[in-house]
Amino acid sequence: MNLTVRVIVVLIFITASLASIQAKADGTGPSLHNAAGHAPIGVMGDHMHAKGEWMLSYRFMHMDMEGNRMGVDAVDADTIVTSIPNRFSGRPIQPPTLRIVPSVMSMDMHMFGAMYAPVQWLTLMAMGMYVEKEMDHITYMGGKGVTQRGSFKVKTDGIGDARISGLIGIHDDGIHRCHINAGVSLPTGANEKKRRILTPSGTQPTVRVPYAMQIGSGTYDLMPGITCNGRLHQWYWGGQYIGTFRLDDDNGYSLGDKHRFSTWLNYQWRPFISTLLRLQYDSLAGIDGIDPMIAGPVQTADPDNYGGDTLNLSLGVNLVGQSGGLAGHRLAIEASLPLRRDLNGVQMETDWTITAGWQYAFE
Ligand SMILES: [Cu+2]
């Protein structure tokens, strides 16, 4: 993102935040104490709290990827290593095409959150996370052909990027409620992790792993957004936009800006249980720049093989405790499947994601 666009985004963000502070929200709306009063657990910053109310939460997210795709079409490993050019070709020992292919990847995220409303129109939110990633690779022998040399696994883990947000109420008419999400992401996650790999010539050097296997973005990100919820009888619905705009770069690059649109429908069968349906559309730009320490005949080392558009469908269940020791506790689960993926370059494809979480609201 160029500087002018960044400045404009920052100005819009500040103006919207200040304007919304004027329009203080008040009154009642969807209640957090019913199953219908919550968005799917995969949505962050979906609700505000009443003045003086706290919430602690833990979310676990698992993402599973297998196989590769170019644009919207699947592509197999033999085709990748015989036809996709290696952008580092021409440097010492770099073959003309890719020779290492990621086959399976999984990511686990443990997210710890806290929310507090110091006043009725503002809820503060902080989130920390611990991330674990695993990627299996197949290494092909030498500079050409489809003979495999072997396989290797890369594992990375660590504290991810921290997020701090203010949720500012801008509208409440008893049925509909809207707030601004004013968030920042801090570069607390590592982006210089090194691991041992297997090269086409059979050596096993320890190198800086590609962007996909790093834990943090390396950058300060602005995360502006808007969320609206509505409720009528047993039905609850909502929508959210959250952007991620990289404000700087680190090690010569920044990850792509992201736009995420989510919309959900929630039906409450009993006050303690509801089922949910959600559509999520993500538009992620490619990596801007390049880390000079990341190079190799593998798709993940090339910044052009990042970003794309995905549309996911999710199903979820919310359970909210109604009385006694269970009051204020929510347990929820959400599973997502991709409906459409249009990826830049050649990339692994996400097959499914599951998010489970616990939230506890108290005064
Ligand atoms: Cu909350």
Q: Where are the domains of the chain?
A: 3-362
How far, in Å, from the CA of 248 to the mean position of ligand 1?
A: 30
List Cα–Cα distances, 307 to 258, 313, 324, in angstroms.
9, 19, 47
How far, in Å, from the CA of 60 to the mean position of ligand 1?
A: 16
Q: What angle (nearest 5°) sits at the alpha carbon of residue 28, between those of residues 27 and 32? A: 135
How far, in Å, from the CA of 273 to the mean position of ligand 1?
A: 18
How far, in Å, from the CA of 54 to the mean position of ligand 1?
A: 7
d(Cα 258, Cα 240) in Å, to the nearest integer?
14
How far, in Å, from the CA of 8 to the mean position of ligand 1?
A: 30
pLDDT band of residue 5 (cuts 50, 70, 90) is low
How far, in Å, from the CA of 87 to the mean position of ligand 1?
A: 46
pLDDT for the residue numbered 196: 97
Domain spanning 3-362 has what CATH number?
Answer: 2.40.128.130
111 vs 26, more confident = 111
pLDDT band of residue 9 (cuts 50, 70, 90) is low
How far, in Å, from the CA of 115 to the mean position of ligand 1?
A: 5
Contact between 151 and 158 under an 8 Å Cβ cutoff? The reply is no
Neighbours of 160 (CB within 10 A): 23
d(Cα 291, Cα 313) in Å, to the nearest integer?
34
Comparing C-alpha atoms, which of 130, 173, 147, 180 is closest to residue 17? 180
How far, in Å, from the CA of 184 to the mean position of ligand 1?
A: 18
pLDDT of 20 strictly over 70: no
Share of the chain above pLDDT 90, in %: 82
How far, in Å, from the CA of 360 to the mean position of ligand 1?
A: 8
d(Cα 208, Cα 137) in Å, to the nearest integer?
15
Q: What three-state secondary structure class fits 11?
A: helix
In the block, which residue shows the tokens 């469908």?
A: 313
pLDDT for the residue numbered 327: 85
pLDDT band of residue 325 (cuts 50, 70, 90) is confident
Q: What three-state secondary structure class fits 325?
A: helix
How far, in Å, from the CA of 124 to the mean position of ligand 1?
A: 9
d(Cα 259, Cα 264) in Å, to the nearest integer?
17
pLDDT of 224 strictly over 80: yes
pLDDT of 15 strictly over 80: no
Write out pLDDT tens, residues 149-203: 999 999 999 999 999 999 999 999 988 999 999 999 999 999 999 999 999 999 9
pLDDT for the residue numbered 21: 41
pLDDT band of residue 29 (cuts 50, 70, 90) is very low
pLDDT band of residue 322 (cuts 50, 70, 90) is confident
In the block, which residue shows the tokens 């910053």?
A: 45
Residues 6 or more apart whose Cβ sits within 8 Å of residue 194: 206, 207, 208, 209
How far, in Å, from the CA of 320 to the mean position of ligand 1?
A: 13
pLDDT for the residue numbered 2: 53
How far, in Å, from the CA of 55 to the mean position of ligand 1?
A: 5
Mean local confidence (pLDDT), 309-335:
92
How far, in Å, from the CA of 37 to the mean position of ligand 1?
A: 11
d(Cα 279, Cα 174) in Å, to the nearest integer?
25
In eight-state DSSP terms, residue 327 is: T
pLDDT of 27 strictly over 50: no
pLDDT for the residue numbered 3: 52
Q: Which two tokens stand for residue 201?
A: 């010539």
Contact between 35 and 267 under an 8 Å Cβ cutoff? The reply is no
Write out pLDDT tens, residues 233-289: 889 999 999 999 999 999 999 999 999 999 999 999 998 999 999 999 999 999 999
303 - beta bridge partners? none
Write out pLDDT tens, residues 181-192: 999 999 999 999
pLDDT of 231 strictly over 70: yes
pLDDT for the residue numbered 233: 85
Most confident range (mean pLDDT) of 46-50, 224-228, 326-330 is 224-228
How far, in Å, from the CA of 361 to the mean position of ligand 1?
A: 7
Distance of alpha carbon 245 from the chain centroid: 13
How far, in Å, from the CA of 112 to the mean position of ligand 1?
A: 12
Mean local confidence (pLDDT), 89-116:
96
Comparing C-alpha atoms, which of 334, 275, 362 is closest to residue 33? 362
pTM over 0.95: no
How far, in Å, from the CA of 310 to the mean position of ligand 1?
A: 27
